[in-house]
Amino acid sequence: MAGLGRFSGLRVLKEGVSGNRGWAPQWRDPAPKPAYDIVIIGGGGHGLATAFYLAQAHGLKNVAVLEKGYLGGGNVGRNTTIVRANYFLPGNSEFYSHSLKLWEGLEQTLNYNVMHSQRGLINLFHSDGQRDAFCRRGNAMVNQGDDAELLDRDGVRRHLPYLDFDQARFPIHGGLLHRRGGTARHDAVAWGYARGASDRGVDLIQNCEVTGIDTEAGRVTGVQTSRGAIRARKVAIVTAGRSGQVAAMAGLRLPIESHVLQAFVTEGVKPVIDHVVSFGMGHFYISQSDKGGLVFGGDLDFYPSYAQRGNLPMQEHVMEAAMTLMPMIGKARVLRSWGGIMDMTPDGSPIIDKSGIEGLYLDCGWCYGGFKAVPGSGFALAHLIATDRPHDSAAKLRLDRFRDGHGLMDEEGTGAQHNLH
């Protein structure tokens, strides 16, 4: 990392007392070359992580990341920053477990402070049936090698005394505590991976929209962009909510619908919530940022859309759930809301696989789980591109499960309907 300089406490102190005039841009701004070995479409968290691990783990540096806008301007900067590994089914369980392990060493790997905070996540339950389901999920997490503790009502109260435990309709019976769960600073994750990839020779090309994918005799040969044609032996589509549109450029129809998921943040308040809390009856989850804002979200808007905004009825629904769980939140003022475009699959689980066109790879279908998957997704996709074999952690995230029905991973048990996962 000689080119752009390393971070250290001494460096921060030195810059702090000298007006911060010594910082340089954290990544290069190259013009696109006519050809690369590998082109990654999408400069969000997953695309940048893939580029980083291609260079860091496999020594592949003739790589370009093409981003339509600016780095980190998509879903990686439009989420509620939750990191967890509390999945139930084989396929998801080992993948997110591996991703969490990468999170735990990420700041050392990148030499970048991504503000990863393992403050603990508590999923509340409100009925005997929910308790049984969370007990089963917790056992699956422990069997995978992750942590889980079933809390009774008093156990939850010791952690979250501010909740309305005796709410008449949804009294709190207990919760499932995942101590290694938490949050991270989403922008910093994109910046850290961008810096690490650029330092290792990857070209990060912003304001470069892909307008076509070139194929010949069943294999990919390059892409057409707003900045000219680029030849490539391998191309990866890593475009989250836009995956269906980009794949269509190669003649592919993916099993994905794009839906809007809203999130909200309040004004900064004194520290009051030191966990991530999930409401078992209202699809509501909340944490507090390091700046003091209460960051929370709810369910999808329930209609397909590419709009990065939400509708008012869902906003009202989320606020109702918040007030039901913790009436104190009514005193905080909401500063802003935003919408991210979720690439929803029929079973609610992701895809990291070859596309059926030689040299064209897919990384999509992240539904609600995109942010916490960033390290694991980048690591597994880089392995697939470099070796043409799936990484063990992502071996079940196959595209063909939607063709033959084998290996479907329906975590929610809601069937083949995209917007119910």
Residues 386 and 294: their CA atoms lie apart, in Å, by 41
What is the percentage of the chain residues whose pLDDT exceeds 90?
Answer: 85
Tokens of 179: 């101590």
Q: What is the pLDDT of residues 70-102, one digit of tens each?
A: 998 888 988 899 999 999 999 999 999 999 999
Question: DSSP string spanning 117-172?
Answer: B---EEEEE-SHHHHHHHHHHHHHHHHHT---EEEEHHHHHHH-TTS-TT-SSS--
Token pair 């999920």 is found at 137
Q: Return the closest-CA partner of residue 336 out of 368, 375, 294.
A: 294
Q: Is the pLDDT of residue 1 over 80?
A: no
Question: DSSP string spanning 176-220?
Answer: EEETT-EE--HHHHHHHHHHHHHHTT-EEE-S--EEEEEEETTEE
Domains 9-81+186-255+347-402 and 117-181+258-344 agree in fold: no
Distant-in-sequence, close-in-space partners of 413: CB < 8 Å, separation ≥ 6: none
Q: Is the pLDDT of residue 24 over 90?
A: no
Write down the pLDDT at residue 4. 52
Q: Return the closest-CA partner of residue 361 out of 193, 213, 226, 257.
A: 213
Q: Is the pLDDT of residue 415 over 90?
A: no
Residues 330 and 48: their CA atoms lie apart, in Å, by 38
Q: Are 41 and 235 in contact (CB under 8 A)?
A: yes
- Segment holding 381, helix H or strand E: helix 374-387
Q: Are 52 and 374 in contact (CB under 8 A)?
A: no
As assigned by CATH, the class of the 117-181+258-344 domain is alpha beta
Q: What is the pLDDT of residues 281-295, one digit of tens each?
A: 878 999 999 999 999
Residue extents of the structural domains in the chain: 9-81+186-255+347-402, 117-181+258-344
Write down the pLDDT at residue 310. 84
Q: What is the pLDDT of residues 267-282, one digit of tens each?
A: 999 999 999 999 988 7
As assigned by CATH, the class of the 9-81+186-255+347-402 domain is alpha beta
Q: Are 287 and 259 in contact (CB under 8 A)?
A: no
Q: Any idea how long the chain is?
A: 421
Average of per-residue pLDDT values in the chain: 94
What is the DSSP code (8-state) at residue 358? B
